[in-house]
Amino acid sequence: MSYSVVWFKRDLRLSDHAALTQALGQGPVLCLYHVEPSLWRSADAATQHYHFLLESLRDLYLEIKRRGGVLHVVAGEAVDVFDKLYALKPFHSLYSHQETGNALSYTRDRAVASWCRLHAIPWRQSQQFGVTRGLKDRDLWKDLWDQYVGQPCLPAPAVIPWVDLPWREPALPKAAALGLDVAEPSQRQRGGRTLALEVLNSFLNDRSQQYRGGISSPLSAPTACSRLSAYLTFGCLSLREIVQATSLQLKALSPAQAWHKKGLTAFISRLYWHCHFIQKLESEPEIEFQNMHRGYDGLRENDWNPAHFEALKAGQTGWPMVDACVEMLRETGWLNFRMRAMLVSTAAYPLWLDWRPVGHWLARQFLDYEPGIHWSQLQMQSGTTGINIPRIYNPIKQAQDHDPNGVFVRRWLPAMRRVPDTWLLEPWKMPHSLQTQHNVYVGTDLSVPIIELEASTRAAKEKLYALRAQTEVRSAKRAVVQKHGSRKRMTTVKQKPVSAPASQQQTLDF
Ligand SMILES: Cc1cc2nc3c(=O)[nH]c(=O)nc-3n(C[C@H](O)[C@H](O)[C@H](O)COP(=O)(O)OP(=O)(O)OC[C@H]3O[C@@H](n4cnc5c(N)ncnc54)[C@H](O)[C@@H]3O)c2cc1C
């Protein structure tokens, strides 16, 4: 009996699963997931990702079982597993979703494509997000995204006629056997579609009322934000089903619920950004390693300061807001957008650290690590895209704006609980008499800032702006905008061609 293979990747669900639906149209299927050791050895992989994956696979296994099928999870490199399977039990086609991953998964996909060609096996890849493979023209992108999310979601199949694996697979490797560090955040989100649906429902029906106004502070953000990112990254939910469920909820709300509606509209725009950023890596995989604007090559690469990096990773920069974020990340695997941006901006400007090692460290810290969003954001917050106005977040001002009473820093940095309110923003300046009075000492209980914030930020800005001002750097910006820039403001500009000089027209939000 011939059959097709459905290769589950970062699409761990049955609903709106185009690859599975198409394969079932051809007859019985072998549902397969590979745990690929070479991918788990990568600098961006972490135990929390592996455990979230296993939880999601367990959920998927049960969903498939309920429909009379079986999910086979096999440890091994994709080509090796396909080769063995084909030799023992030849299959006629391979189905999966497209994946915009890191360089390793891209190389793996090319190897699988060659293997398929060699064996004359068609490999049909369905679109996973509103990301277009082989996009020719960025101007068309927004319409393509609208078309993609507007198509009806595919229902989960009622029955899955299945094919067995022709060998007995041993137990899956533990995280340590894959070379992963044992530590993981104790309070991270758990994987699987069942939980993903609960999180989606609680957000749409209730928590999204706080979305507007609640997403910037690290105090309100953990409940005001959707918290769907990891479920999107692992594909427990499809992007399209989230967009469509949100649109339905928007329609159900009354005009009196205008604030709630605004929150949901803002949320949909984030889902658009999700794909907008992943498209950048899809169109130019090199941005995982190289500056998006090559004119910024050499900006920080040769000034690497290991002491700064170690202090950042240890949460000992001395700036309470930064150190508290590092602690929260270590314990939960999640931070809201603004705090992520502040962490990277602190790394990139006052600490003057190159985005690549910082990005690998953060990729392991973020449970929702999504290469396309991550590397684009790392570059954007470090000022190497060349097309964004550099945003430099001052950690003291962020504390003032988003944690004025010190609730957040005291939650994550126990020593800060003994610091009186007056000294919350700059505790290292506390007079010695007060340190004794409150039994909290600068240098032992509290870190002293490793660098003077104002002067180091000014020096960083000067270096960046000197480069930005160079004629070659300015003129090379146009090509980056053409390839990656959002067309939102460009559209407005096209309608009013005389409103601003060309250089300003290309200053885009993201
Ligand atoms: C340096 C840096 C690195 C980041 N790395 C990642 C990453 O690896 N994976 C990831 O999913 N997000 C990343 N983000 C974007 C953003 O911080 C997270 O998506 C968000 O905090 C996730 O929480 P949420 O699902 O509750 O967000 P919500 O605010 O509820 O947003 C809903 C969804 O929209 C998308 N989204 C939200 N904000 C952005 C954004 N600015 N850019 C692109 N997509 C967005 C995400 O898919 C998110 O799940 C990064 C941001 C920065 C500044």
Burial of 34 (0-12, 13-18, 19+ CB in 10 A): buried
Burial of 129 (0-12, 13-18, 19+ CB in 10 A): buried
For the cut 70, the answer to whether the pLDDT of residue 319 exceeds it is: yes
Q: What average pLDDT does range 174-197 have in this prediction?
A: 96
302 CB neighbour count, 10 Å cutoff: 7
For the cut 70, the answer to whether the pLDDT of residue 63 exceeds it is: yes
Enumerate residues lining ligand 1, CB below 6 A: 215, 225-229, 232-233, 267, 270-271, 273-274, 277, 336-337, 340-341, 344, 366, 368-370, 373-374, 377-378, 381
Ligand 1 centroid – CA 297 distance (Å): 26
Sheet strands side by side (includes 71-75): 71-75, 29-35, 4-8, 93-97, 123-126
pLDDT attached to residue 149:
97
Ligand 1 centroid – CA 229 distance (Å): 6
User: Whose C-alpha lies nearest to ligand 1, atom 44?
Assistant: 274
Ligand 1 centroid – CA 170 distance (Å): 36
Which two three-digit tokens encode residue 132?
């277009």
Q: Out of 5-19, 346-360, 439-453, 468-482, which region has the weakest mean confidence (pLDDT)?
A: 468-482
Q: Which atom of ligand 1 is nearest to the CA of 359?
A: 1
pLDDT attached to residue 484:
86
Q: Could you tell which of 337, 345, 382, 391 is best to mutate to test the pocket of ligand 1, judged by most ligand atoms within 8 Å of the CB? A: 337
Token pair 């950048």 is at which residue?
280
Ligand 1 centroid – CA 17 distance (Å): 23
Q: What is the pLDDT of residues 151-169, one digit of tens each?
A: 999 999 999 999 999 999 9
pLDDT attached to residue 476:
86
Q: What average pLDDT does range 195-219 have in this prediction?
A: 97
Q: What average pLDDT does range 256-272 have in this prediction?
A: 97
pLDDT attached to residue 488:
62
Q: Could you tell which of 269, 377, 486 is best to mutate to test the pocket of ligand 1, judged by most ligand atoms within 8 Å of the CB? A: 377
Strands 71-75 and 93-97 turn out to be unpaired
Ligand 1 centroid – CA 404 distance (Å): 24
> Global pTM?
0.95
Ligand 1 centroid – CA 339 distance (Å): 11
User: Whose C-alpha lies nearest to ligand 1, atom 43?
Assistant: 274
Burial of 350 (0-12, 13-18, 19+ CB in 10 A): buried
For residue 226, give the DSSP letter.
Answer: -
CA-derived radius of gyration, the chain: 24
The mean predicted confidence, pLDDT, of the chain is: 94
User: Whose C-alpha lies nearest to ligand 1, atom 38?
Assistant: 270
**Gap between the Cα atoms of 240 and 427, Å rounded:** 47
Ligand 1 centroid – CA 338 distance (Å): 10
Percentage of residues of the chain with pLDDT beyond 90: 90
CA separation (Å) from 462 to 389, 447, 459?
14, 27, 5
Ligand 1 centroid – CA 231 distance (Å): 12
Burial of 190 (0-12, 13-18, 19+ CB in 10 A): middle
Q: Could you tell which of 204, 229, 231, 379 is best to mutate to test the pocket of ligand 1, judged by most ligand atoms within 8 Å of the CB? A: 229
pLDDT attached to residue 1:
64
Give the chain's domains with CATH numbers. Answer: 4-128 (3.40.50.620), 133-154+193-279 (1.25.40.80), 294-503 (1.10.579.10)
Q: Which DSSP string do the residues of 116-144 spell out, in sequence order?
A: HHHTT--EEEE--SS--TT---GGGHHHH
Q: Which atom of ligand 1 is nearest to the CA of 369?
A: 8
Q: What average pLDDT does range 190-198 have in this prediction?
A: 98
Per-residue pLDDT band for 356 (boundaries 50, 70, 90) equals very high
Buried b (16+ CB within 10 A) or exposed e, 365-396: bbbbbbbbbbbbbbbbbbbbbbbbebebbbbb
Crossing angle of helices 193-205/239-252, nearest 10°? 30
Q: What average pLDDT does range 219-238 have in this prediction?
A: 98
Per-residue pLDDT band for 481 (boundaries 50, 70, 90) equals confident
Is 1 or 79 the better-scoring residue by pLDDT?
A: 79
CB 452 within 8 A of CB 475: no
Ligand 1 centroid – CA 232 distance (Å): 10
**Gap between the Cα atoms of 406 and 59, Å rounded:** 40
pLDDT attached to residue 51:
98
Q: What average pLDDT does range 231-238 have in this prediction?
A: 98
CB 141 within 8 A of CB 132: yes
For the cut 70, the answer to whether the pLDDT of residue 434 exceeds it is: yes
CB 236 within 8 A of CB 193: yes
Closest listed residue to residue 72, CA positions, set 177, 175, 166, 196: 166
Q: What average pLDDT does range 458-487 have in this prediction?
A: 90
Closest listed residue to residue 425, CA positions, set 393, 443, 391, 402: 402
Q: Residues 101, 355, 306, CA angle at the centre, nearest 5°?
A: 125
Q: Which atom of ligand 1 is nearest to the CA of 337?
A: 17
Q: What is the pLDDT of residues 273-290, one digit of tens each?
A: 999 999 999 999 999 999
